[in-house]
Each structure stands twice: as C-alpha cells, then as structure tokens.
Amino acid sequence: MTSLPTTTERKLGLVIDLDTCVGCHACVVACKGWNTVADDGAPLSDVDAYGPDPVGTFLNRVHSFEVTPDDGGAARVVHFPRSCLHCEDAPCVTVCPTGASFKRAEDGIVLVNEDDCMGCGLCAWACPYGARELDLAAGVMKKCTLCVDRIYNENLPDADRVPACVRTCPAGARHFGDLGDPESEVSRLVAARDGMALMPECGTKPVNRYLPPRPRDVTSDERLDDAAEGSDRPSGFLGWLDRMLEAL
C-alpha cells in the first residue's frame, strides 16, 4: 500500500554531525559493501566498473561544500553525507503505482519491495534529496533501508545492530536512534545542537537531522596586529622576545 501511515510507533533515523564529519567516504563504502553482500534483494551493481565510464548504485554519497559566512569571515569546508531521510510525508511512497514503495508503521523506515517494483523511476523524481537510485543491472529501485537487516538481526553482536554507515564512521559523526522519542540520545543531540531538516520547503518532513557545524573560534584582530611585522609594541611572548633581541 503506498498510502502513508498516519503515525508511526517509532521514527528510526540518523543524526549526522556536519561538525565532525571528515569526508572520508567510509560510510559510502560500508553501505555499498553491506548492501552488495547481504542476502535479500539484488546487490548494488556497478556497470563498466573498470572501463572508461563506470557508473554504480550507491545509497549514500558524500558531497563537500564551501560555506562563506555572511559576515565576511573565512570560508570553511563542510563534508555532507546524503542519503534517504525516511521522511514522514514521503512523496516517493505515495507516487508509487505498484505498491513497491512503502513506509513501515512500526518504525517509520521507508523501503522498496523489489519483487513489486517495475522500475518506472517516478519515486526517484519525487524525492528532493536524490536518495533513490535505480539499479541499472537489476532494474529495480534502490534506497537506504536503514540497514533493516542489521538493526533487528539477532545473529549479530549488539554493537553491530546499527546501520553499517554508523558502525563504520571513524569520526563518530553518524548517530542512529528513535527520533520520535524526545528522551532518546539522538533526540537530545538534535535539541542541544539545533539539528536541521533539509529543504523543509518541500514538505517532506524528514526524520533524519543534520547537526550544523559549530561556530569557529574567531581570531581577534588585536593579536594578529601584535604578531604582524612592524607593529610598534608587541606584547606577551613576542614582546618579550622583541625586547630580548633588542637588548642583544
């Protein structure tokens, strides 16, 4: 059924810390690996992998942006992982003609039943975030499953019952949990760091949240002046050095 559930018991999702992400793409590789070897569903294929025009299916992509502050401060680089946000008002689900796309009432995860998908691609058009990619080999739509085959998997040790991207992130920039529970760790992170929803104007009500980079320390002009060659009266260590050198 591609009608959306009115509410979901839980809202499982990711919180991604843009302050901490170092842009290493480990999550991209872990995701690709897990979803290529996992039993259920078609693997994430590559076409022409070693040829001149390789193209492959990925459920997570890391962009790097440059942000120049409005107040004229120094520009900074922000690494930005992009994957399905498991939206509450997921337009990708309601457009699906076959019923292949659905949102689970129990935990809010948005999934594709590959046995029903006809590969029309309309759901990918409906997603503002480019989170869905049609697998060119299998002809079915692929998207982040929030590693539904890991998080409930009793054959895995506890530590591994999180999405592969979260498990692998060396910077600890990815957090997994129930964003519907205000007391959960992820919800508290969002509250403390003013977590953002992406493109709210598209009306999708994403579950995933992004934590904005923390403000940078601002170097005070005074100390820069002190250090600059030709400033008349340096203070602190430089001043001391200056005086010592003069005394020689």
Partner 1 sequence: MHPAASVIVFTTLSGAGFGLLAFLGIGEPAPTGLRAFWFYLLGYGLAVAGLLASTLHLANPRNAIKAFREWRSSWLSREAVLSVTALIAVAPVAFGRVFLGQDWPVLGVIGAALCLLVVFSTSMIYAQLRTVPRWNTPLTPVVFLAFALAGGAILAGRLQAALAALAVLGCVQLAAWIVGDRRFAQAGSDAGTATGLGRIGRVRLLEPPHAGRNYVLDEMAFRVGRRHAAKLRILSLVGAVVLPGILLATLGTGVVVTAVAAILHLAGALASRWLFFAEARHVVGLYYGR
In the complex, which residues of this chain contact ligand SF4 (CB under 6 A)?
84-87, 90-92, 95-98, 100-101, 110, 112, 117-123, 127, 129, 131-132, 141, 143, 204
Tokens in use for 141? 């739509």
Question: Are the beta carbons of 190 and 180 closer than 8 angstroms?
Answer: no
Tokens in use for 42? 């078609």
Site for partner 1 in 132-151 (CB under 8 A): 132-134, 136, 138-140
Question: Are the beta carbons of 92 and 126 closer than 8 angstroms?
Answer: yes
In sequence order, what are the residues at sequence separation of 6 or more whose Cβ sits closer than 8 angstroms to the Cβ of residue 203? Answer: 89, 91
Q: Which amino acid is at 214?
A: R
Instruction: Output the furthest CA–CA distance in the chain (Å, rounded).
Output: 86
Q: How far is the CB of 148 from ligand SF4 (least distance, A)?
A: 14
Nearest Cα residue to 86 out of 191, 159, 15: 15
Q: Which does 112 bind (CB under 5 to 8 A by kind): partner 1, ligand SF4, none?
A: ligand SF4
Binding-site residue total for partner 1 (CB under 8 A)?
70
What mask, x for binding partner 1 by CB under 8 A, covers residues 207 to 236? Answer: ---x-xx-----------------------
Q: Which amino acid is at 215?
A: P
Site for partner 1 in 157-186 (CB under 8 A): none
Q: Of the ranges 72-80, 148-156, 161-169, 227-235, which one interacts with partner 1 (CB under 8 A)?
A: 72-80
Count Cβ neighbours within 10 Å for each residue of 81-101 and write b for 16 or more, e otherwise.
bbbbbbbbebbbbebbeeebb
Q: Is 201 exposed, middle or buried (0-12, 13-18, 19+ CB in 10 A)?
A: exposed
How far apart are the two ends of the chain, measured CA to CA in Å?
86
Q: Is 61 in the site for partner 1 (CB under 8 A)?
A: yes
What mask, x for binding partner 1 by CB under 8 A, covers residues 17 to 56? Answer: -x------x--x------------------------xxxx
Q: How far is the CB of 179 from partner 1 (least distance, A)?
A: 16
- Tokens 């569903």: give the residue: 41
Q: How far is the CB of 123 from partner 1 (least distance, A)?
A: 10
Q: How far is the CB of 11 from partner 1 (least distance, A)?
A: 19
Q: Is 98 in the site for partner 1 (CB under 8 A)?
A: yes
Interface residues toward partner 1, by CB under 8 A: 1-3, 18, 25, 28, 53-58, 61-71, 75, 77-78, 80, 82, 91, 93-100, 115-122, 124-130, 132-134, 136, 138-140, 196-203, 210, 212-213
